[in-house]
Amino acid sequence: MNQDVSYDVSAIRQDFPILNQYVHNKPLSYLDNAATTQKPQTVIDRVHKIYARQNSNIHRGVHFLSNQLTEEYEQAREQVRQFINAKHAREVIFTSGTTHSINAIAYSFGEKYIHEGDEVIITGLEHHANIVPWQALRERKNARLKVVPINDRGEIQMDAYERMISSKTKIIALSHISNSLGTINDVKRIIEVAHQHNIPVLLDGAQSIQHQQVDVQDMDCDFYVFSGHKVYGPNGTGVLYGKEKWLEEMPPYQTGGEMIQKVTFDKTTYNELPLKFEAGTPNYVGAIGMAEALRYVEKTGIQAIARHESQMLRHATQKLQEIPGLTIYGTAERKISVLSFLIDGIHHYDTGMVLDKMGIAVRTGHHCTEPLMNHFGIEGTVRASFAMYNTLDEIDQLYHALLKVKQMFS
Ligand code: PMP
């Protein structure tokens, strides 16, 4: 298969210094992008510049550096707003990542709206980050957690979903895209159905923000969360988007500096959005670095990235299917560039170890989706996940490396 010539993947690779290195004396082939993505030089430079020239705590300074960085922090918020097409910048809360964002919503929304006997719906595809916070809420509030089953292709069973909704359902929380299987869920339909019952929907966008155009107003989701490190940005950054009407009503889940308007020992009043949800010194360096990453994605073009990645997915699926005894897990009709698989008789960990020795970085294990692995009756998979800088050559290398793995263990 030929590489799409209008997409200059070698120029893109030049922007990511980490890709240009050898591991175990082999050129690095980084196929672990669902776990974390690498950073372009512009992001590295931006973070470096802040520490070298601009660092100062934001929001409460009277001096030049503090004011300058405060402005850039708020510009970063505006950049995120544009990227996800939120209506208002005050609907964008900076967090440390997806896990932080989901915990914040489960706690805060849960405090306000979930009572004994109420129900939360999740799906069989979820990452632990979208399971455990709801279990903790269930314990706190004596609530119920319902799980929508999936089929053997790794798709949500829509009939079961619709039947599961009841007058007790208070929120539906699901992954936009599955990290283990790559399934793109039909979130528009899911949200439409939920809204017919006036139930809000939280989308875990950890695996969608970097792969396709995200428009929170078009999807009409009530909450959308993601991590900066999955979209070529710094580690320890993330976003909690929420519709203003929810965020206004929900109580802060953390209290302290920045999130207050006035404090006396008798009474404290809270700040307005978004600061109400940003207690303490925020990771302003990370937030500004994340905005730089979003600019890089915009410059490259999310549609062009999506086309490139789907070409890689097609090629990889076709090549891996040629390997006898290899089973692909996750065969949904609509998928992003994630391939989970097992080779008969070879433990996923052994496959991953041998690939590593050939310079190929993949992830093995349950990918923080143990219930999903249980559905398939397996312990884990080998997962290759492709990003904007991967090439068709790397997929061919993976294919040949897997043939060697098979040979070694036969
Ligand atoms: N949800 C999904 C679908 C994910 O892929 C991940 C990261 N593997 C998370 C949640 C958690 O993200 P983080 O560890 O960045 O908080």
Model confidence pLDDT, tens digit, residues 244-277: 999 999 999 999 999 999 999 999 999 999 999 9
Please name the amino acid found at residue 289: G
Rounded mean pLDDT of 199-205? Answer: 99
Residue nearest to atom 6 of ligand 1 (CA): 206
Index of the ligand 1 atom closest to the CA of residue 98: 16
Q: Is residue 368 annotated as part of the catalytic site, yes or no?
A: yes
Distance CA 178, CA 126 (A): 7
Of the candidates 109, 146, 54, 94, the residue with the CA atom closest to the CA atom of residue 286: 94
CB-count exposure of residue 350 (10 Å: 0-12, 13-18, 19+) = middle
How much of the chain, in percent, has pLDDT values that exceed 90?
Answer: 97
* Whether pLDDT at 1 is above 90: no
Query: How far away, in angstroms, is 98 Cα from ligand 1 center?
Result: 6
Checking if the pLDDT of 205 tops 80, the result is yes
At 6, the pLDDT band (50, 70, 90 cuts) reads confident
Is the pLDDT confidence value at 99 over 70? yes
Ligand 1 pocket test: which of 176, 208, 368, 370 has the largest number of ligand atoms within 8 Å of its C-beta?
368
Segment 33-85, tens digit of pLDDT: 999 999 999 999 999 999 999 999 999 789 999 999 999 999 999 999 999 99
Segment holding 26, helix H or strand E: strand 26-27
Q: Residues 288, 73: contact at Cβ < 8 Å?
A: yes
Using one digit for the tens of pLDDT, what is the confidence trace for 346-401? 999 999 999 999 999 999 999 999 999 999 999 999 999 999 999 999 999 999 99
> 359: which 2 tokens?
């310079």
CA–CA gap between residue 37 and residue 309 (Å, rounded): 14
CA of 99 to the centre of ligand 1 (A): 6
Q: CA quadruple 366, 367, 370, 376: dihedral positive or negative?
A: negative
For 29, the 3-state DSSP assignment is strand
Domains for the chain: give ranges and CATH numbers. Answer: 9-39+301-409 (3.90.1150.10), 44-299 (3.40.640.10)
% the chain with pLDDT above 70: 99
